[in-house]
Structure 1
């Protein structure tokens, strides 16, 4: 026989369940109720071929099938990605213009450019995280270091004598090595290039000795033996290079870093549109086929809620702001 206390508990539990369902229902209904009225623009603020572009194109393909409208990727480059970001910021906030933002464009550039004319934190609405990629510490084969520990010892014995290449002042391939230098308390000379590809080419040629490149672009050079990989910067070992230690494993937990991408919309985009787009992106990123295609490019599929994305942006903005200040980084 059920006691009065048990009945009261059951009633309260049922009420809580119904209340939770009632609160969740409007969001679900709004998300299902919005549909694009015309093709979507998916702006990538970098040239075709990089990890950011590859992920955007994979997502665009799946999104258009789920939304019933074409999703066209537009590469709008310039000013460290600011040109593409501003294009979306100035677009109509109706769900038909979205951006593949990145670590650099969303959380690093605000510390480097004093006249951007927009603020990613307030002028964009987060939809979902999309991907994350590790950076990998690579050296030219002539560098007398077979392990990360050998390399740290070499840097400490020869401060400032080795040079690293980057994709330019303020790029992720500049900031991640500076974070590494701060964490390890070592010195290397910075040689900026007009993009990561020429920096990698010069690392392969031995014109610079070191690079902390994004894993997708460096992977083929590592696998062919043209550069030697020593460590990865992610929170765990890479599935494609499982023998490499993480920064934490070599005693530098503060050097942990990932480059990531997130889908954004102009601030003021209606909540039903944001919720529908977020749901579609989460569904796409959960598909094994999509995850495999991203993994082949060296990227991990990562989704989030808009609130989780906002928290990530706040933490990353604080982290990279400290690196910019302590390393005294400026842009040309």
Structure 2
């Protein structure tokens, strides 16, 4: 009798758990807050774009989408947290070529695999890089910067948004191509870098355009060269590197949205479709492009081969620049 009662109780618990699980699955998605992790400090261009998209997602999905800044370790801390998060559609990350590419080669223990641990939701586009210098540095062009750097190798300090960031590797590529040497000063994101450059405590940065656009437009620093095949309409007076004789040092930093890899496909499709639709909204495109970000929206299938190619490209840059993993 005792066994029979116990068995019936156990079966009842299993049945109850099954019903609860089925009920959870049957609940409409989303039914509570979605978290979008930005693995960098608040205030930088990545953060601003994420907040624009999160705001629109909240409207379209009928649930709040909050942005959580989890900075540190070149973006690895926040990215790692998402890789380990419950794959239930309620945690995503706005990553880039650093978090989902370079960290695999530059960090000995990033704590995640950029390809195996994530499912791409949407490629957003890329940040173009622009060389900016402090106002009292006696250079007004890329050839003048090269000339000054060659007079005293290593004396000039250049800032980046962290070891392995686009601004770091793009500058290393530039130095390799031009035969100059500057000293690297990494920061935890764009905001502190910009502050130090305006204060004159670093001399040079090959920063993403949106992170310095308003500052050089306001005369707080000087822009001397865009690392892009063509000029940007938001900065039409800034000549490209190619126009100044440097034809092999263009670089861009892409950005994309990801979810944990085991997130159910219906939820991935929902998130992906929502984000892609948002990035194609005219008023969203206007807000984002005004930041200096070049939109190039890709669905997951189009983004995957692009991601593979980019990882290979930046791996070669890292090898060429002899940057050791830390």
Please tell me the TM-score bracket, short chain as reference. Answer: 0.7 to 0.9
Q: What displacement does 1:194 show?
A: 4.4
CA–CA distance in structure 2, aligned partners of residues 107 and 130 of structure 1:
16
Paired position in structure 2 for 1:82: 76
Paired position in structure 2 for 1:121: 115
Paired position in structure 1 for 2:323: 329
Q: What displacement does 1:84 show?
A: 1.2
Q: What displacement does 1:181 show?
A: 0.9
Q: What displacement does 1:331 show?
A: 5.8
Q: Deviations over 1:151-201 (max 9, x none)?
A: 334334544342212233323322221111122222222233444433333
Paired position in structure 1 for 2:4: none
- The one of 243, 249, 262 equivalent to 1:249 is 243
- The one of 151, 154, 160 equivalent to 1:160 is 154
Q: What displacement does 1:77 show?
A: 2.1
CA contact (8 A) 2:142 2:241 kept: no
Q: What TM-score comes out, normalization by structure 1 length?
A: 0.82
CA contact (8 A) 2:40 2:188 kept: no
Q: What displacement does 1:262 show?
A: 0.5
Q: Deviations over 1:268-324 (max 9, x none)?
A: 222222222222112111112111211232223331011222122212211221222
CA contact (8 A) 2:41 2:188 kept: no
1:48 aligns with 2:42: yes
Q: Deviations over 1:135-166 (max 9, x none)?
A: 21012233332222333343345443422122
1:175 aligns with 2:176: no
- The one of 118, 139, 146 equivalent to 1:145 is 139
CA contact (8 A) 1:88 1:98 kept: yes
- The one of 88, 98, 105 equivalent to 1:94 is 88
Structure 2: gaps spanning 5 or more residues = 1-27
Q: What displacement does 1:253 show?
A: 3.5
CA–CA distance in structure 1, aligned partners of residues 154 and 72 of structure 2:
31
CA–CA distance in structure 2, aligned partners of residues 277 and 252 of structure 1:
41
CA–CA distance in structure 2, aligned partners of residues 75 and 201 of structure 1:
19
CA contact (8 A) 1:44 1:99 kept: yes
CA–CA distance in structure 2, aligned partners of residues 321 and 176 of structure 1:
12
Structure 1: gaps spanning 5 or more residues = 1-33
- The one of 285, 292, 317 equivalent to 1:291 is 285
The 3 A distance-change label for structure 1 pair 146 and 55 is same
Q: What displacement does 1:267 show?
A: 0.6
CA–CA distance in structure 2, aligned partners of residues 201 and 73 of structure 1:
23
Q: What TM-score comes out, normalization by structure 2 length?
A: 0.84
- The one of 262, 268, 278 equivalent to 1:268 is 262
CA contact (8 A) 2:135 2:222 kept: yes
Aligned length: 299
CA contact (8 A) 2:44 2:189 kept: no
CA–CA distance in structure 2, aligned partners of residues 205 and 331 of structure 1:
31
CA–CA distance in structure 1, aligned partners of residues 180 and 76 of structure 2:
31
Paired position in structure 2 for 1:133: 127
- The one of 285, 300, 308 equivalent to 1:314 is 308
- The one of 226, 235, 243 equivalent to 1:232 is 226
CA contact (8 A) 1:93 1:269 kept: yes
CA contact (8 A) 2:149 2:181 kept: yes
Q: Deviations over 1:44-83 (max 9, x none)?
A: 1112111111111111111122222222222222222112
